[in-house]
A and B are shown apart, each in its own frame.
Chain A
Amino acid sequence: MRKTLSIVLIACLILTLGLAAGCSKKTEQAAPDKGAPEKQATEKLVVGAIGEPHTAMLKMVKSKLAEQGVEMEIKDFTEYSQLNPALNDKQIDANFFQHIPYLEDFNAKTNSKLVWTVKIHTEPMRIYSEKIDNLDKLADGAIVGIPNDPTNSGRALAVLQSAGLIKLKEGAGVTATERDIIENPKKLEIKMADAATLPRVLQDAAICCINTNYALDAGLDPMKAVFVEPGDSPFANVVVVRPEDKDKDSIVKLGKALQSPEIADFLKTNYPAVVLAF
């Protein structure tokens, strides 16, 4: 009995070790072929992106960049959290998916020094309502739903401030909390809920601050929002690179290509909910 047990245990151990070795081998192999290619004939540029409209925009500028001697490869990611680490690890040369506060948060938490080069577009947070069509009609003491995660709640408070509903302490920044509210003349009752859940509870509040993506997912019409986050918000989508590449020729060309009128037209026609940031 004891013998069989030890055989089983040893078998398990060998299996585990074998698996572990197999895994580590795989990562070793994967690393070099994801690394930067060595050929220097044309300038190569690997750009990471995720989802739309970012990937579509990159595809649009691909041929334009080729004419300028930049051979761009678009790497479509499936995990937001992988894009910045991949840039740090030089698996990609630039990425285009995030807004500035996300970048700053990543830099702060991981001690990275990634920088953004150009602002392209904003998916603005909007104020939606099923009860009123104009913010002037907002009653005193009305319930206001805002997201509860740090960046989105801070962003929502800034939106409420832009709409003239509340006043925040100076320098509260993007991570402002309810405690930074210094003036609330309408005595609005601010309730925090999960960002993705807000469209579902919209009818239980007078107004809700909702991100464009969640609003679209829930079938809300951004054009019917009662207020739109101003275009100068820090939440613009930016191209992000390693600090030493900021002025690299290919990166500058990429930035210029993305800020072209064609891209502006493309966004206006296909993504009317988006606001240009250039």
Chain B
Amino acid sequence: MLAISGINLAAFFATYLGDYDWVPAAVLFASWETLYMVFLSTAVSYLLGMPLAIILVTSEKGHILENLQLNQVLGSIVNAVRSLPFIILLILAIPFTRWVVGTSIGTVASIVPLSLAAIPFVARLVETSLKEIDWGLIEAALSMGASNWQIISKVLLPEAMPSVVLGVAITAINLVGYSAMAGVLGGGGLGTLAYYHGYMRYQTGIMWITVIVLIVIVQGIQMLGDKAAGRIINKRR
């Protein structure tokens, strides 16, 4: 084992991969880019999508903060953004991206359109989770004199948490898929590597390597999500 660890990895790749000795480093770097884009855009989209979801749910008819007009306006905006194909959103968002991060090309820049696409998705996902809560619970809290804020923070969010956490995994996995298109604006990542080298340059091997890495990443995200949700449920018992 010691002998193996002594092998210079670069030399090993150069010997066995020939012209493709750059691939391992490229795949590693692209994986990092993908994880970076997915992690940050998931974080941003939950930061902004969660409040949106709470407003969407509580402003519904008969809910604690009923405001039908607001509900309809927000709902329409969410639907409008969700109906945009991501590739179009990516292009339309260029001026906004430039305004937020100062440039429209690169990995950091692609986080903006990724988040923009994910925010309404997250809003609907969390909305669904929040709606699963038994109305009886909210009613009970109301009868005990809970304030609106207490209902949101002590009833709605904790009750929906396992489902919300599973939603995070769904969102992150969706974003792994979306991030493949970041290459259009120089965002890099595994999808770009697979498309521009594997597909367009007919280096099929690279395509398969990236596909395998993507599968591993997606499995990993799902496992983490399942575990986190399970832990929350277990704690309650």
Contact = CB atoms under 8 A, between A and B. Distances in A.
Contacts, number: 47
A2 interface: no
Which range contains the number of B residues in contact with the other chain? 10 to 19
Given A150-B201, A194-B184, 4 more contacts: A148-B186, A149-B196, A191-B106, A204-B98
B48 to A, nearest CB: 24
Given A179-B22, A200-B94, A193 B200 contact: no
Interface string A189-226: 00111100100110111000000000000000000000
A201 B201 contact: no
Interface in A169-193: 175, 179, 191-193
9 contacts: A109-B202, A148-B196, A175-B201, A179-B22, A193-B185, A194-B183, A197-B91, A197-B185, A201-B104
B108 to A, nearest CB: 12
A165 to B, nearest CB: 18
Interface string A143-155: 1010011100000
A192 B192 CA distance: 10
A194 B201 contact: no
Q: Which of B104, B184, B186, B196 has the most CB of A within 10 A?
A: B186
A192 B201 contact: no
Contacts of B109: 204
A274 to B, nearest CB: 26
B184 A193 contact: yes
Interface in A129-172: 143, 145, 148-150
Contacts of A145: 105, 186
Most buried by A among B91, B105, B106, B109: B105
B76 interface: no
B103 interface: yes
A143 B94 CA distance: 17
Interface string B175-201: 000000001111000001000100011
Interface residues of A, number: 18
Nearest to B94: A200
A203 B183 CA distance: 18
Interface string A5-27: 00000000000000000000000
B148 to A, nearest CB: 44
B22 A193 contact: no
Give the 6 A-B CB pairs with smallest separation, nearest first. A193-B186, A194-B184, A191-B186, A204-B103, A201-B104, A150-B201
A175 B185 CA distance: 20
Contacts of A109: 202
Nearest to A175: B201
A175 B202 CA distance: 12
Contacts of B183: 148, 192-194
Contacts of B192: 148
A192 B91 contact: no
Interface in B9-52: 22
A193 B105 contact: yes
Interface in B74-107: 91, 94, 98, 103-106
A150 B184 contact: no
A179 B192 CA distance: 16
Given A200-B94, A201-B105, A204-B105, A194 B200 contact: no
Interface string A105-117: 0000100000000
A193 B106 CA distance: 9
A178 to B, nearest CB: 10
Given A149-B196, A150-B196, A150-B200, A201 B22 contact: no
